[in-house]
A and B are shown apart, each in its own frame.
Chain A
């Protein structure tokens, strides 16, 4: 069977199942790898293990009940999902949100971005072997969860937005605590970078791994930090500002090489920009109401819209069709950033070693609750 030129030892390709229960797949993700020795020559990503039918469920719930279902998608950045949904309904109903609510939404979104990136940094570094960073990053994430607990009583699934504004104003002294957290975060970021940015093992494991060019990244539908790591300056917070982002001063960091290291650098810089945005928003926090003029019965006129926001993972879009009669959306569709980013995984891991697959799953930063919905 083997041609004459083949070496004496057996060189068959083997198929390796990675997952669905594997500590480095961040949930229930299964990657079927076709290996030539240690090298990946083909792969198939199998998802759906966490499919709960959230879209179908939302089509059978009231407009107001959906907010807490959106929490269950990207559960490490639940408030961002809430904001995206509420803004889409507000767009359908042409509700104006008061300025104070828009500022508070900005603060929450950025706190969630830091929390999500902390989780990403900790798990990504631990996948590659840097145990310390995991403990450091989770320590800071805990502070954010405490802040949210004080605001709305929950630590993960906040249900923290309402159509037209917010359910509650911030408790007294909360803004001071957020500012104190910003100071802590500034110093801790230096620690993270000391541990990783110039660490020789980290550089070896991430530089030149999973390179994707800008054109390819756009074509395959990457968004968020993985897209910016390839040098495409696209951030919905800047390009189509929502909440109070048009009043904030911040930079959009982009990478050059499009490898795992640049995606890491982009996210580290996003930490800094988020802290900067939170400081501005707290300092400029206007007084006023926190809820706009919302009718008692929420029933948007018949029509369809697509609205996207920049979640920590990428472009989080909601496509909602209302029929104008019922108190539930006729069609509720989420464009999950993790799902679309994960699509690039087979392309990224092609030709790399099995150990790099672990690094690349971490580098794409997926949450399986959002991939499968």
Chain B
């Protein structure tokens, strides 16, 4: 099945001085290891409700980031419900979106992202929780029932282990599907037979191909 990546055939004996065109390898390596998460610049004023959040739960917010007008708080998984409850009582009653990003080269590969909105104050904030593949993150369905399907989608697409969810099933993919399609190591063209039968072998072959490519 998986062929050894062949060395490019050297253009045999063209006497002209023109060097052989560099064979462009498919972009395999340099995957980013994580998001930038920039801290707010000095001239950006931290809004009062974020200051209040930091004061109320001192170890709840490990990092505060600001980028193109969006505030994000990075929260440890154990403090998610506490921070969520504080924000919910502070007006963030509308859960716009729950999603995740996959950074496979990082130790805790997933970022769970909760986009919240306050209808009263018209503010937006995102909570970000870093989760490893074998770690768990609590469900926020108790605070925002809107997160129910959204968390199901995150579970379906990324395989993040969400605990306490009332109805943790796949939602878009069929129930007997193998693998989680939005992960970065899941091929765009679909799983193919090998992945469906034996995902570990498939991953090993793929990694071997990538390493050969880097060399």
Write the residues of chain A forming the contact surface with B, with a CB cutoff of 8 angstroms: 47-48, 51, 53, 55-57, 60, 91-92, 94, 218-221, 223, 232, 234, 239-240, 302-306, 308, 315, 317, 319, 321, 323-326, 330-331, 333, 335, 339-340, 343, 372-373
Contacts and interface: CB of A to CB of B under 8 A. Distances in A.
B148 A319 contact: no
Interface in B109-133: 113, 115, 117, 119, 122, 124, 126
7 contacts: A56-B188, A60-B188, A304-B35, A324-B36, A330-B101, A335-B115, A343-B149
B139 interface: no
Contacts of A60: 188
B209 interface: no
Interface of B: 27, 30, 32, 35-36, 38, 67-70, 72, 93-97, 99, 101-102, 113, 115, 117, 119, 122, 124, 126, 144-150, 157, 170-174, 181-182, 186, 188
B97 A335 contact: yes
B171 A305 contact: no
Residue of B113, B146, B170 with most partner-chain A CB within 10 A: B146
A331 B174 CA distance: 23
Contacts, number: 107
A319 B146 contact: no
A48 B67 contact: no
Given A317-B115, A331-B102, 6 more contacts: A218-B94, A219-B145, A240-B122, A321-B35, A335-B96, A343-B148
Contacts of B173: 48, 51
Nearest to B125: A306
A18 B30 CA distance: 48
Contacts of B113: 304, 319
B37 to A, nearest CB: 8
A333 B97 contact: yes
B96 A308 contact: yes
B173 to A, nearest CB: 6
Contacts of B94: 218, 221, 223, 234
A42 to B, nearest CB: 12
A335 B94 CA distance: 13
B171 A57 contact: no
A221 B93 CA distance: 9
B70 A306 contact: yes
A323 B149 contact: no
Contacts of A343: 146, 148-149
A306 B124 CA distance: 9
B115 A302 contact: no
A48 B32 contact: no
A81 to B, nearest CB: 16
Nearest to B119: A234
Given A48-B172, A48-B173, A218-B119, A302 B32 contact: yes
A218 B93 contact: yes
Residue among B69, B94, B157, B170 facing the most chain A CB atoms (10 A cut-off):
B94
Nearest to A91: B68
A305 B70 contact: yes
A284 to B, nearest CB: 26
B149 A339 contact: yes
Given A57-B188, A306-B124, A340 B149 contact: yes
Given A55-B182, A56-B181, A303 B97 contact: no
B68 A303 contact: yes
B67 A331 contact: no
B67 A232 contact: no
Contacts of A92: 68
A221 B32 CA distance: 33
B68 A94 contact: yes
Contacts of A321: 35, 101
Q: Which of A240, A306, A321 gathers the greatest number of chain B CB atoms within 10 Å?
A: A306
B27 to A, nearest CB: 7
A47 B96 contact: no
A326 B29 CA distance: 12
Contacts of A308: 96, 117
Chain A to chain B: the 5 pairs with minimum beta-carbon distance, closest first: A221-B146, A48-B172, A335-B97, A323-B32, A331-B101
Contacts of B32: 302, 323-325, 330
Contact of B171 (A47, A234, A303, A335): A47
A212 to B, nearest CB: 12
Given A56-B182, A91-B68, A221-B144, A306 B101 contact: no
A326 B93 CA distance: 36
